């Protein structure tokens, strides 16, 4: 009996955590909607409020991290369903330039800030690496709620984020190798090559393969065959992408693109997947907020370091990615710049790796953590501001409405 009650208590604790996270997320989303601000910001702040920093009702755990990861996987899968491969290939050169400049400038800034703050070489490299990769899940969430995922600038942001992730992987692998005393150049080249090959092959051949397999999938006797095959493909490519070294969300995004042909099956899958996404994504956003520990900022020098790193994290992405879009209008360059600002869970993961290896001090760890959450909070209002004219031209009301993504799909396609 005691074992049974212990298990029941543990399960009740898990359910209570889920309840508090989803309730707080939706309550704060409603408040921010009424304040005419992006709901994403409210959902992240909900994590700060109920997390260890303030109320301490829910703490980050392996379970919350897993469900958050699943949430962002489904978010990027849904975004992929609205993104035809040819639309990404069409902006490929510009996306490559945006992604490359958006990696170089933040890395240099992070490195020299850490050196100026008397950090050692490897520590400075980790700080630079933490500023590199964009958390495209945040931008995708905001653009999806605005119904602007079909814009050219949105396609460039998505394409650049894939390139950004691969370059970030190479930098992180190099920095991690340096922290252990040397660099395995062969292993590094192998990982980078596999990541690039995987992305290119799945991104270009995936849609063609699924189009050829469509009649066979339709002949399956299971209920909702396309939806079920879509889920298998989403999770399968997410796992495959992790094995080749890139983030799981890249595989999920590519899986969505492979199924992006505007057919009746795609529309049905969109509608069904959006319900799963709407349930899971708040856990991803709340989990980011829960990572922030405000107690470390009792030291004024840590506050100064955190603000400095955050400022340069914002400005270098904005300038670097904006310059990568040179030749477009200034407003479009600004849209791409702000769309690449959020770091989210990516910056947090890099900081945690550095801390676990013992090569990054607590002040730098706390400052990078602050930067990751702060850039994620700063980006949505800026995205709304820079895309507001396009939204008004589309006849969408100025208030962000958290619509079902399937409704947006119907509107645009």
Q: Which domains does the chain possess?
A: 23-28+38-57+67-412 (1.20.1530.20)
- pLDDT value for 402: 39
C-beta of residue 288 within 8 angstroms of C-beta of residue 351: no
* Cα(165)–Cα(183) distance, integer angstroms: 20
* Cα(147)–Cα(383) distance, integer angstroms: 13
- pLDDT value for 10: 65
What does pLDDT average to over the chain?
79
Residues in CB range of 343: below 8 A, 6 or more apart: 130, 131, 133, 134, 135, 313, 371, 372, 375, 376
- pLDDT value for 107: 93
Cβ atoms within 10 Å, residue 84:
18
- pLDDT value for 399: 36
- pLDDT value for 376: 80
- pLDDT value for 221: 72
* Cα(103)–Cα(99) distance, integer angstroms: 6
Phi, psi (deg, nearest 5) at residue 328:
-90, 175
| 326 strand-pairing partners | 328
CB-facing half-sphere around the CA of 85: CA atoms within 13 A = 20
Residues 154-185: pLDDT tens digits? 889 888 887 887 787 778 777 777 766 666 66
Which H, E and C letters describe 285-302, residue by residue? HHHHHHCCCHHHHHCHHH
- For the chain, the C-alpha Rg in angstroms (whole number) is 21
C-beta of residue 318 within 8 angstroms of C-beta of residue 105: no
Closest among 111, 157, 105 to 134, alpha carbons compared: 157
CA distances from 263 to 147, 257, 266, 269, 410 (A): 19, 13, 5, 10, 11
Residue spans of the chain under pLDDT 70: 1-10, 87, 179-185, 187-188, 214-215, 218-219, 261-266, 344-346, 356, 390-413
C-beta of residue 123 within 8 angstroms of C-beta of residue 360: yes
| 328 strand-pairing partners | 326
What's the chain's length in residues? 413
Which H, E and C letters describe the chain, residue by residue? CHHHHHHHHHHHHHHHHHHHHHHHHHHHHHHHHHCCCCHHHHHHHHHHHHCCCCCCCCCCCHHHHHHHHHHHHHHHHHHHHCCCHHHHHHCHHHHHHHHHHHHHHHHHHHHHHHHHCCCCHHHHHHHHHHCCCCCHHHHHHHHHHHCCCCCHHHHHHHHHHHHHHHHHHHHHHHHHHHHCCCCCHHHHHHHHHHHHHHHHHHHHHHHHHHHHHHHHHHCCCCCCHHHHHHHHHHHHHHHHHHHHCCCHHHHHHHHHHHCCCCCHHHHHHHHHHHHHHHHHHHHHHHHHHHCCCHHHHHCHHHHHHHHHHHHHHHHHHHHHHHHHCECECHHHHHHHHHHCCCCHHHHHHHHHHHHHCCCCCHHHHHHHHHHHHHHHHHHHHHHHHHHHHHHHHCCCCCCCCCCCHHHHHHHHC
* Cα(242)–Cα(221) distance, integer angstroms: 32
């Amino acid at each position: 009996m005691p074992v049974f009650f212990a298990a029941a208590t543990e399960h009740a604790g898990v359910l209570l955590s889920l309840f508090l996270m989803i309730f707080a997320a939706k309550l704060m989303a409603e408040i921010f909607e009424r304040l005419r601000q992006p709901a994403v910001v409210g959902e992240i702040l909900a994590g700060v409020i109920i997390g260890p920093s303030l109320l301490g009702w829910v703490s980050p755990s392996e379970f919350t991290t897993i469900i958050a990861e699943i949430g962002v996987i489904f978010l990027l899968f849904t975004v992929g369903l609205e993104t035809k491969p040819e639309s990404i290939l069409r902006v490929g050169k510009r996306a490559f330039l945006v992604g490359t400049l958006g990696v170089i400038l933040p890395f240099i800034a992070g490195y020299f800030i850490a050196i100026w703050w008397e950090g050692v070489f490897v520590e400075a490299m980790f700080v630079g690496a933490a500023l590199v990769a964009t958390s495209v899940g945040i931008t995708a969430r905001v653009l999806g709620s605005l119904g602007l995922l079909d814009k050219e600038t949105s396609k460039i942001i998505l394409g650049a984020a894939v390139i950004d992730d691969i370059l970030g992987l190479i930098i992180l692998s190099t920095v991690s190798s340096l922290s252990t005393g040397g660099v395995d150049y062969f292993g590094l080249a192998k990982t980078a090559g596999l990541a690039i090959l995987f992305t290119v092959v799945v991104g270009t051949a995936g849609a063609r393969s699924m189009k050829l397999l469509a009649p066979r999938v339709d002949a399956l006797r299971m209920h909702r065959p396309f939806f079920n095959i879509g889920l298998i493909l989403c999770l399968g490519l997410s796992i495959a992408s992790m094995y080749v070294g890139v983030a799981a969300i890249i595989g999920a995004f590519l899986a969505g693109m492979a199924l992006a042909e505007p057919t009746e099956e795609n529309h049905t899958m969109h509608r069904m997947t959006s319900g799963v996404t709407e349930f899971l994504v708040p856990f991803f956003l709340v989990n980011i907020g829960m990572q922030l520990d405000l107690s470390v900022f009792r030291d004024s020098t840590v506050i100064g370091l955190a603000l400095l790193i955050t400022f340069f994290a914002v400005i270098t992405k904005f300038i670097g990615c904006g310059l990568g879009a040179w030749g477009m209008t200034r407003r479009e360059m600004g849209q791409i710049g702000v769309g690449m600002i959020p770091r989210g869970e990516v910056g947090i993961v890099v900081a945690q790796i550095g801390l676990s290896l013992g090569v990054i001090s607590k002040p730098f760890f706390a400052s990078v953590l602050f930067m990751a959450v702060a850039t994620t909070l700063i980006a949505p209002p800026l995205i709304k501001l820079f895309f507001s004219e396009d939204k008004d031209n589309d006849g969408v009301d100025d208030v962000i409405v958290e619509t079902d993504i399937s409704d947006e799909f119907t509107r645009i396609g």
